[in-house]
Amino acid sequence: MKIRKSLWIPIIILSLFCCTPISVNAAKHQKSNRTTTITISAAGDCTLGIDPTIHHTFDGYYNKNGNAYFLKKVKPVFAKDDLTIVNFEGTLTTSSNRAMKKYAFKGPAKYVGILKKGSVEVVTLANNHSMDYGKTGFTDTTKTLKNNHISYCYNSTIAYKTVKGVKIAFIGFSQLQGTSASQVASAVKAAKKKRAKIIITSFHWGIEREYHPNQNQKTLAHSAINAGASLVLGHHPHVLQGIEEYRGRYIVYSLGNFCFGGNCNPADKDTMIFQQKFYIKNGKLLKKKDARVIACSLSGSSSCNDYQPGILSGSSKKRVLNKINTLSRGMHVTVGTKGRVR
């Protein structure tokens, strides 16, 4: 049967009204069920500068090689992820008001280019060196970071980043300043109120050159996760410590040194990048665990610190992964030969 031309337009319009709502609803349903993956990398202590009273070798490497040199070997990892966080241990200032302490670190503002060239987007300043040059040094540092679009967290100052429509909170505390579980819980609560779906909590804690976390570290780490933290990161011991799984979340007790200008030849050069993928579905963070350890050395030389951390392979990689497994005994974590955390 032929349809008269005069009836074509009403039929077409009717078909559009019938079909369009189905298409829109299907699209909304598809969007709501989509899983978003966020990859976050974490590394340890980065001191981009020197203690002027001790040595100047870091400055010499900068003057010779420029800012791209320092994180060149690990940038492929940091550039490929969604966000990278490190512990920034020191100041970016010209202040001469040095604190009365054994070590006090500073570098010029231009050293912030090391972080930018290395694809580091977030730092924690909650450590025992952020005030090495008083309030002036701290203010100079935060101003330089802000001007270069690098976010920072420090005590009640929470860093927020939005990636793929997902809000991520970075919280930093120093237990050396007497951080309490209630302070941490309040910060996590504040991040939740801001609708952060992923909450990364960093702590400066423990004892220098001690390979095992103490009870204070464990208690604070557990309280952070009990409050709702998605991942707990630690630093200050300057060496690696173990990894724990607690209530389906990871605690990395110490990431060790990384790009560390504070020591021209550390006895222990082992370090790592801890990288985790987070999965968001229907606006909620899934319990899916997907993390890996990337074994590294803080220097390309075994006899000195060349301030250029690099990724290990072969027997060196195996040795560091075995070391982390040994340090993680009793913590419900095993690191596989390829670095996968199980």
Which structural domains are found in the chain, ordered by start?
A: 35-327 (3.60.21.10)
Confidence of residue 32 (pLDDT cuts 50, 70, 90): low
Statement: residue 3 has pLDDT above 50: no
Q: What is the mean pLDDT of residues 94-101?
A: 96
pLDDT-wise least confident of 28-37, 154-163, 179-188, 249-258: 28-37
Mean pLDDT of the chain: 93
**pLDDT at 270 (0 to 100):** 98
| DSSP H/E element including 31 | helix 8-32
Q: What is the largest CA-CA distance in the chain?
A: 98
Distance CA 60, CA 76 (A): 25
User: Is pLDDT at 1 greater than 50 in this prediction?
Assistant: no
In the chain, % of residues over pLDDT 90: 89
What pLDDT does residue 17 have?
Answer: 42
Give the mean model confidence (pLDDT) for residues 107-127: 98
Q: What local confidence, expressed as pLDDT, does residue 55 receive?
A: 82
Composition of the chain by helix, strand, coil, percent to 5: 30, 30, 40
* Alpha carbon separation from 177 to 126, 133, 184, 203 (Å, rounded): 9, 17, 13, 11
Dist. CA 25–CA 40, nearest whole Å: 33
How far apart are alpha carbons 239 and 209 in whole angstroms? 6
Amino acid at residue number 163: V
- Band the pLDDT of 16: cuts 50, 70, 90: very low
Query: H helices of 267-341, where?
Result: 314-327
The set of residues, in sequence order, having a beta carbon less than 8 Å from that of 263 and lying 6+ positions away, is 238, 257, 305
pLDDT for 12: 42
Average pLDDT over residues 128-149: 98
* Structural tokens at position 198: 């992923």
Is the Cβ–Cβ distance between 88 and 117 less than 8 Å? no
Taking CB atoms within 8 Å and a gap of at least 24, the contacts of 153-162 are: 153/122, 153/123, 153/124, 153/125, 153/126, 153/202, 154/124, 154/125, 154/126, 154/130, 155/126, 156/187, 158/187, 158/190, 158/191, 158/194, 159/122, 160/191, 160/194, 160/196, 161/83, 161/121, 161/122
Nearest to 243 by CA among 339, 338, 325, 124: 325
pLDDT of residue 276: 98
pLDDT beyond 70 at 152: yes
Q: Which helix (H) or strand (E) holds 273?
A: strand 270-281
Arithmetic mean of pLDDT, 220-224? 98
pLDDT for residue 60 is more than 70: yes
DSSP state of 237: S
CB 126 within 8 A of CB 158: no
**What value, to the nearest 5°, has the Cα angle with vertex 217 and ends 135 and 197?**
75
- In this prediction, residues 307-311 reach a mean pLDDT of 98
Which range, of 26-40, 151-165, 216-230, 258-272, averages the lowest pLDDT? Answer: 26-40
- 19-23, 51-55, 184-188: least confident range: 19-23
Contact indicator for 317, 81 with CB cutoff of 8 Å: no
pTM of this prediction?
0.91
Q: What percentage of the chain exceeds 70 in pLDDT? A: 91
Q: What mean pLDDT do residues 143-171 have?
A: 98
More reliable by pLDDT, 4 or 80: 80
Q: Which of 21-30, 39-48, 267-276 has the lowest mean pLDDT?
A: 21-30
pLDDT range class, residue 8, cuts 50, 70, 90: very low
